């Protein structure tokens, strides 16, 4: 049923409009009986449906309805699988329809600036391209079921410390290339029904009233068609929010927001036309949700649980497999040690906490799969709610390990170590767990560690064990997925979507996170994650994009469809991947680009494409990537746009950011002229890069070379290399200062005028 939204808005009083822009309760928008405007229900996500009863808070003190708890964002991103994430989205959409939920609050795609952020388990990656691609698939999956999403948290929300008041101080290029780039593609291509504005301020202005973010960029530049909703309690000034483009305040403010809007309209501080725009955007989504409501839908919980197990297995990352200790021999006696084996940590704390339909634990799932002739023994090893060693538990664990052929230790971060609301202060796992791993490695030579954590941890014990499986927070079916991988039923295929540093002091934001008082400076700029480690040649514990398999893959025949292109053309890149091992497996092929010589500072390499391919032993396949201008570009603040400068670029294809298997070079020609007035302070070297300008300054440069007192008779004090270097960064005015009588400032001024013409 088509509704004329503008006609409805014209019939509304100013009070009715103001009321519609504030929630009715924790989870519902306001209805208007007179005009037959229904209420919508929203529910927390993003890795499961957290529908709570009316009146319940959004931080989860009360239980929510039972739903499937899928892997958290940090795990999901490690799948690098667009299709898998889309299937997850479809399943979540089905569950929302079954529970009459119109909008799922997710996905969360804030960049992992620091591994200490307490909410990193909920976010996807340190890389904006990977985050954007997976978020786009997620949104399309959910919304294909007639349920909206709320892409969050917009923007630059990268810490929990003082998250409601801190101001992220950030330059425009960093904002665009790293923190907004993750949002841009999902908004342009997937059109989430809503975007959730963040708690924090950006460069001093609250996100809830930041016109530059919400109107100039989100609505006008990116053409977002939905409405903006506040994070719960993020509103500072309700009228300023409407003015900036923040449409819906959540949760209910018990009339305060509505009164503030009415006062602002009455005084002329806020125009009614601005208010009308917000109302129109809200109504468009309200009616879309009603039209897409599927009544009496029931989803198959067992089927969704099996999907959760399949997804979890594809997300886990094999970090170490010395002497091919994995997969485990089902005929050997195995000791399982660690409380997390029977008391799994499968999700994070806070607003995304799901009430699962059931929970698998790894010990029981291993027990189901090992052969009857083998023994599976268990020791608790440590208490999850303590950091101190317990002598009795350790002795029991050592005895159990000694009596087995191999030992699997379950370790990681307890709930108290990472959660929404606060940041971590260390990369370490609890000391009693580290101690246990070290002691067991002394008495058992075949040790595998399985980690359950939402973000990177230090591993001072890594050299002492044979295998490490990063299981992340894998959802309610994580136990079964872990068993499937350990025993070889599933070949691990996940790769890290974030860098694991050796030490906290190695991290790019180490000196600046989480800031001073209510201000945090993003002084590392664009050098986030692998962009920093690779550019600075800092060895990480495990690099971005890294992950092992039970099989091996060969890369070859890297080809381009052209050797030269303009920034208006696309480039096709093809590479052949072959499975040369014994097992069927999946490889994640990663394409990075390096600008060989740029006029601005750029990272060593940047991810620009990826593909996940499944191959049987001996099978090979050609993977094709299409690159466009954006693949080569940086954000140029002089033109306020993306700019791919002329020059040579390296095309790098590999299995991680640190393992490039094939590379080649392409030449790109820019069709865009960079404006900028040439002055007497313009460097000579910058002019020499442009052939046309070089011709114009050759005459005066020749005069300078003849007249400068730094010439041939200086008895070798000035080398040729030194002379060239000085020229490169010498302002034009200096030619007159050092050029003798043949070069005057009048000549330099005339040259500048000529160059600008």
Q: What angle do CA 92, 95, 99 make, to 5 degrees?
A: 140
What is the distance between the alpha carbons of residues 350 and 354, in angstroms, rounded to a whole number?
A: 9
3-state secondary structure of 530: helix
How many other C-beta atoms can be found within 10 angstroms of the C-beta atom of residue 267?
9
Strand pairing class (641-643; 634-636): antiparallel
- Count of CB atoms within 10 A of residue 113's CB? 27
Quick check: is 231 catalytic?
yes
Residue 675 CA to residue 490 CA, distance in Å, equals: 56
Residues in the chain: 757
- Beta carbons within 8 Å of 489's beta carbon, 6+ residues apart: 369, 483
How many other CB atoms are there within 10 angstroms of residue 721's CB atom?
Answer: 8
Check: CB of residue 311 under 8 Å from CB of residue 70: yes
Place of tokens 């069709």: 671
Q: Identify the CA nearest to 154 among candidates 82, 96, 93, 215.
A: 215
Identify the CA nearest to 322 among candidates 226, 406, 391.
Answer: 406
Radius of gyration of the chain (CA): 29
At 55 the three-state DSSP class reads coil
Could you tell me which residues are beta bridge partners of residue 318? 469, 548
As given in the structure block, the two tokens for residue 187 are: 């908004």
Is 355 in contact with 67 (CB distance < 8 Å)? yes
Nearest Cα residue to 646 out of 659, 632, 636:
632
**How large is the angle between the packed helices 272-292 and 256-267, nearest 10 degrees?**
140
Alpha carbons 80 and 70: distance in angstroms, whole number: 16
Helices (H) and strands (E) in the chain, counts: 23, 27
Neighbours of 234 (CB within 10 A): 24
Residue 605 and residue 591 in contact, taking contact as beta carbons nearer than 8 Å: no
CA 420 to chain CA mean position, Å: 17
Structure tokens that stand for 118 in this block? 């307490």
Q: List residues bridging with 571 in a β-sheet.
A: 627
Cα(577)–Cα(88) distance, rounded to whole angstroms? 27
Q: For residue 514, say if its preceding peptide bond is cis, omega within 30 degrees of 0.
A: yes
* Cα dihedral 321, 327, 332, 335 in deg (nearest 10): 60
Q: Other C-beta atoms within 10 Å of 426: how many?
A: 12
What are the strands of the beta sheet with 376-379, ordered from one edge? Answer: 317-321, 467-470, 447-452, 406-412, 334-337, 376-379
Contact assessment for residue 737 and residue 708, using Cβ atoms and an 8 Å cutoff: no
The answer to whether 625 touches 592, Cβ cutoff 8 Å, is no
Question: Catalytic residue among 44, 127, 231, 484, which?
Answer: 231
Count of beta carbons in the 10 Å neighbourhood of residue 705:
14
Within a 10 A sphere around the Cβ of 695, how many other Cβ atoms?
Answer: 9
> How do 317-321 and 519-521 pair as beta strands?
unpaired
Q: Which residues are catalytic?
A: 231
């Amino acid at each position: 049923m088509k509704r004329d939204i503008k006609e409805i808005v014209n019939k509304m009083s100013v009070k009715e409009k103001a009321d519609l822009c504030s929630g009715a309760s924790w989870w519902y928008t306001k209805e208007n009986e007179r005009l037959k405007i229904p209420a919508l229900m929203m529910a927390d996500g993003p890795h499961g449906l957290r529908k709570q009863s009316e009146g319940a808070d959004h931080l989860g003190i009360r239980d929510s309805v039972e739903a499937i708890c899928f892997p958290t964002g940090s795990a999901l991103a490690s799948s690098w699988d667009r299709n898998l994430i889309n299937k997850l989205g479809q399943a979540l959409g089905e569950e929302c329809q079954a529970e009459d939920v119109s909008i799922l609050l997710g996905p969360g795609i804030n960049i992992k600036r620091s591994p200490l952020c307490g909410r990193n388990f909920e976010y996807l990656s340190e890389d904006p391209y990977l985050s954007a691609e997976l978020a786009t698939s997620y949104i399309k999956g959910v919304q294909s079921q007639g349920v909206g999403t709320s892409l969050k948290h917009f923007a630059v929300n990268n810490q929990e410390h003082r998250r409601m008041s801190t101001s992220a101080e950030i330059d425009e290029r960093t904002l665009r290339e790293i923190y907004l780039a993750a949002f841009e593609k999902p908004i342009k291509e997937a059109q989430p029904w809503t975007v959730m504005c963040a708690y924090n301020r950006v460069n001093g202005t609250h996100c809830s009233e930041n016109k530059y973010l919400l109107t100039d960029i989100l609505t006008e530049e990116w053409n977002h068609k939905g409405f903006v909703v506040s994070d719960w309690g993020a509103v500072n000034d309700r009228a300023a929010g409407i003015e900036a483009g923040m449409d819906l305040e959540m949760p209910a403010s018990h009339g305060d927001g509505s009164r503030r809007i009415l006062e602002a309209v009455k005084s002329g501080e806020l125009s009614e036309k601005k208010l009308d725009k917000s109302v129109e955007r809200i109504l468009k989504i309200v009616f879309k949700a009603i039209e897409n409501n599927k009544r009496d839908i029931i989803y198959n919980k067992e089927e969704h649980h099996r999907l959760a197990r399949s997804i979890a297995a594809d997300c886990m990352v094999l970090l170490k497999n010395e002497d091919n200790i994995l997969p485990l021999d089902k005929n050997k006696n195995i000791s399982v040690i660690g409380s997390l084996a029977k008391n799994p940590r499968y999700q994070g704390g806070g607003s995304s906490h799901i009430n699962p339909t059931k929970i698998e634990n790894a010990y029981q799932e291993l027990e189901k799969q090992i052969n009857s002739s083998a023994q599976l023994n268990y020791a608790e090893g440590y208490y999850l709610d303590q950091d101190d060693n317990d002598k009795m538990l350790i002795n029991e664990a050592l005895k159990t390990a000694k009596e087995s052929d191999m030992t699997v230790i379950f370790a990681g971060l307890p709930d108290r170590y990472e959660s929404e609301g606060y940041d971590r202060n260390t990369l370490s796992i609890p000391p009693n767990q580290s101690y246990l791993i070290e002691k067991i490695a002394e008495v058992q030579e075949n040790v595998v560690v399985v980690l359950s954590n939402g973000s990177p941890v230090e591993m001072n014990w890594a050299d002492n064990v044979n295998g490490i499986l990063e299981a992340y927070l894998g959802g309610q079916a994580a136990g079964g997925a872990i068993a499937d991988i350990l025993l070889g039923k599933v070949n691990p295929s996940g790769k890290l979507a974030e860098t694991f540093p050796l030490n906290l002091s190695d991290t790019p934001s180490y000196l600046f996170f989480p800031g001073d008082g209510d201000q945090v400076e993003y002084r590392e700029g664009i050098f986030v994650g692998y962009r920093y480690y690779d550019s600075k040649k800092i060895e990480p514990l495990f690099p971005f994009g890294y992950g092992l398999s039970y099989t091996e893959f060969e890369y070859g025949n890297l080809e381009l469809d052209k050797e030269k292109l303009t920034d208006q053309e696309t480039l096709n890149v093809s590479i052949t991947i072959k499975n040369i091992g014994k097992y069927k497996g999946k490889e994640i092929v990663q394409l990075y680009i390096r600008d060989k010589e740029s006029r601005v500072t750029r990272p060593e390499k940047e991810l620009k494409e990826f593909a996940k391919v499944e191959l049987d032993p001996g099978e090979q396949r050609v993977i094709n990537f299409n690159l466009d201008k954006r693949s080569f570009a940086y954000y140029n603040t002089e033109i306020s746009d993306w700019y791919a400068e002329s020059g040579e670029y390296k095309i790098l294809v590999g299995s991680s950011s640190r393992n490039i298997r094939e590379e080649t070079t392409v030449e790109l020609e820019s069709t865009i002229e960079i404006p900028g007035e040439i002055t007497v302070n313009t460097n000579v070297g910058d002019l020499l890069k442009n052939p046309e300008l070089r011709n114009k300054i050759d005459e005066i440069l020749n005069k300078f070379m003849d007249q400068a007192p730094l010439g041939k008779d200086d008895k070798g004090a000035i080398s040729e290399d030194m002379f060239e270097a000085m020229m490169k960064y010498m302002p034009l005015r200096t030619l007159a200062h050092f050029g003798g009588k043949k070069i005057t400032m009048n000549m330099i001024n005339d040259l500048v005028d000529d160059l600008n013409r």
